[in-house]
Structures are given as C-alpha cells and as structure tokens.
Amino acid sequence: MQRLRVYDIYREIYVEPSRQAVELALEYGYLPYMVQRYIDMLGPREAVELLEAFEKPVRQVVRANTLLVEPGELKTRLESLGFRLEEIPWAPGSFWVAEAPRSPSIGSTHEYLKGFYYVHRDATSLIPVLLLLGDGYKGDVLDACAAPGGKATFTAQILKERGGGTVYANDYVLYRLKSLIGHVLRMKLDNIVVTWGNAAELPGRVGRRFKRILLDAPCSGEGRISVDPGRKTRTSILDLAIMVKREVELLGSLIDMLDEEGVIAYSTCSIAPEENEYVVAKILESRRDVEVADPGPLPFNHSRWLTSYRSMEYPRELEKCIRIWPHRHGLFGFTTCLLKRVGA
C-alpha cells in the first residue's frame, strides 16, 4: 500500500472547534477538538449525554474460567463473600459485578488466585472474541497485541472447550507481557504460546499464516475516559495522526498474515472515527484482497460505524462494523470490525 505521511493524515483529520465545543470542553475538561468531534458525530444534545456518561463508573466483569469451575458455582462462591453478580445475557459464563464488599477486592479472592476467573474492566473486551469465534471455529488464533491477556485467555478457553486450537499471544511491552504470562499460569491454560515482538514485524518473522487474527490496536483509549480521565487531554491532533498512521500500517501488516478467507478482528477502545472508519477505509482503498465481513445478528445493543463524517465519505460496507457508545449502551466506548481476506 502507498506509504502514509503523518502530515497528510493530520491535514485530513484536522478539526477546528466551534465556540460551543470550546465552552463544553472547558466545562468538562477536554481538548476542544475532541468535543467538536462528538458534536459532529452525535449532535449537540447527544454529545452532552456522552460527556455525562464518561463521568459515571462502568461495572467490572467477572468471566468464569469454565475449564476449572462452573459459572453457577463461581457465582455462589463470590456472592458468599459479599459480591453481587448479574449474568451478562449475551456472554454466557460472564457476570457484571453489581456490588462489592470493602474486602476482599474482586482481584484478591482465593477463587481469583486459583484461576477460576478473569476480571475485565468492562464487558466490551469480550465482543471481538465472540465475533471472531462465533462460527464455531476451533483452529489456531494469533492475538497480535495480547497483553494483559483478557482476550487471549478468553480465546484459549473457548478453543480448549471446542477441542482444538492454540492461541499465539504476542506483545511488545515487557511489563504488560509479564502480566499476560501471569494470567496464563494462574488460569492453567496450556494452549497459549506467548511471544515477544513488534506486531508490525510479525509477517517477516513468522513463517506461517492464520485463519483468525485478533488485533486490539494500540490507540488513544478515548473510550475509557470513565476510568482514566487523563485521556481527556492526553492526545493532541498531531498525536492522533501519529497513532492513525501506526494503526493503518499495523492492520495492513497483519492482513498479510491471513489465509485466504481468513478473518481479522480489528478493535480499539476508542470512539474516534479517525482510529476506526478512517483506518479501515484506508485499508480498503489500498487493497483489493480485503472486504468487510458481516458479523450477522448480534445479541447485544450496539451502533454501526459512520459512512460519512465531516467532509469525508467512507465505504458503505463499514455499516457492518460495530461501535459501542457509553451513553447509549452503558459500556466503555469501543469498536470492532471484521475484515476477511479474499484472493490471498
């Protein structure tokens, strides 16, 4: 694909904030360009609803390690300690933590230390795994940016239950990789191979292709403001342009590792169209061996990606991709898009 330049991306994604955006940014503590984007995507009234939603906590999630414990037994054990769990209807074996005692914390119980469950910050991280494996797939999976391990361990658990498949869990950040290894050992998962390396360089270092790849891309994390308010002011437009360039290049590199008819789940914990619609549109524009895959009927509430934003028009097929809004769906801001390789 044609080499992207940060300057060109910056020019395309630049946003000039309106007076209304500046006033809301001052009130809620954001960079003005971010608020202008919310207004452009949602309209002024709903943009305020989003800003308000980011001020509210999001419930943690307990995902039972069904290789070691039945979900019902885990629920009983944790509720005997003072937790109140609510089953997530679209994610069997997973529960929202509705109430918690002062002690123990959800990450320090004996059941946690025994590997009976994984604690997710919120339920959105379950979505790409459920979509990628939703057709009963039971072969190998590459998780290219796997740490700290929520998606990799969930994937390994599902594959183990189906009787096949190994997860190749890669990451480049060593301290995060240590966390991933800790979860693999704690949960007694023997079908995960952990590797260290730059995901963008994997095509030149790994002598094989995959039928399924997970890419939870390093991003601005704009959808996680409710747990990290510093993200309100952390990413300038120039920073964003640099991230977008990296995301396009990373996604393009990993598509090269797909078998024909293979599928990659591209996800970010960002609601920014620049990190989602823009990235995938650049891939579709530059390649003829990729198409957006339809995830089919979904059991959870969601919105679709944009096909137009400000002065940009995006391919209609991006409507097949999923966006989670905090104010509409009560979860982190999150996106997922399935891409299939054709004619590899």
Residue boundaries of the structural domains of the chain: 123-341
Angle, alpha carbons 63-132-242 (nearest 5°):
95
Determine the Cα–Cα distance for residues 124 and 256; give it in Å rounded to an integer. 27
pLDDT-based confidence at residue 207 (cuts at 50, 70, 90): confident
pLDDT in tens, 266-319: 999 999 999 999 999 999 999 999 999 999 999 999 999 999 999 999 999 999
344, pLDDT greater than 70: no
Which residues fall within 8 angstroms of residue 170, CB to CB, at 6 or more apart? 142, 143, 144, 145, 146, 194, 195, 196, 197, 199, 202
Query: In CATH, what class is 123-341?
Result: alpha beta
The verdict on whether 219 is a catalytic residue reads: no
Please tell me whether residue 88 adopts helix, strand or coil conformation.
coil
pLDDT-based confidence at residue 3 (cuts at 50, 70, 90): confident
pLDDT-based confidence at residue 62 (cuts at 50, 70, 90): very high
Catalytic residue among 219, 269, 321, 337: 269
19, pLDDT greater than 70: yes
Residue 40 CB coordination number (10 Å): 16
66, pLDDT greater than 90: yes
What pLDDT, on a 0 to 100 scale, did the predictor assign at position 1? 60
Rounded to an integer, the average pLDDT of 122-140 is 96
How do 94-99 and 61-64 pair as beta strands? antiparallel
